[in-house]
Amino acid sequence: MDQADQAKKIDQAIEEMEKEDVRLDNYSTKDSKGLGDTVEKWLGFFGITEEGIEKVAGMGGCNCQKRKQFLNRIFPYRKKKED
């Protein structure tokens, strides 16, 4: 897949989310420490949970928390300074 095709797929995904009223201006990250928390929230929005993954995969753990902490650490959200 070339870069133009990838960009088109991303644009289509954004359009689909906007149809469901998921937009940057109405989605809060105030309780999120970083990208890992946001990924967890978005997956939960679609009904994908750690417990569900473990059940479907039939394993004792999926390391979801470890992945979330990793993403939070390498992609933390910076807090806006209040004036």
| Per-residue tokens: 60 | 């004792």
CB 16 within 8 A of CB 50: no
- pTM higher than 0.85 for the full model? no
pLDDT band at 69 (very low <50, low <70, confident <90, very high): very high
Q: Is the pLDDT of residue 59 over 60?
A: yes
pLDDT band at 52 (very low <50, low <70, confident <90, very high): confident
Q: Is the pLDDT of residue 73 over 60?
A: yes
Query: What mean pLDDT is reported for the chain?
Result: 78
CA distances, 36 to each of 8, 18, 29, 47, 71 (Å):
25, 22, 11, 16, 5
pLDDT band at 54 (very low <50, low <70, confident <90, very high): confident
The pLDDT of residue 81: 54
CB under 8 A, 24+ apart: contacts of 60-64: 64/40
Q: How far is residue 67's CA from residue 15's CA, in Å, rounded to a whole number?
A: 28
Categorise residue 12: left if φ over 0, alpha if ψ from -120 to 50, beta otherwise. Answer: alpha
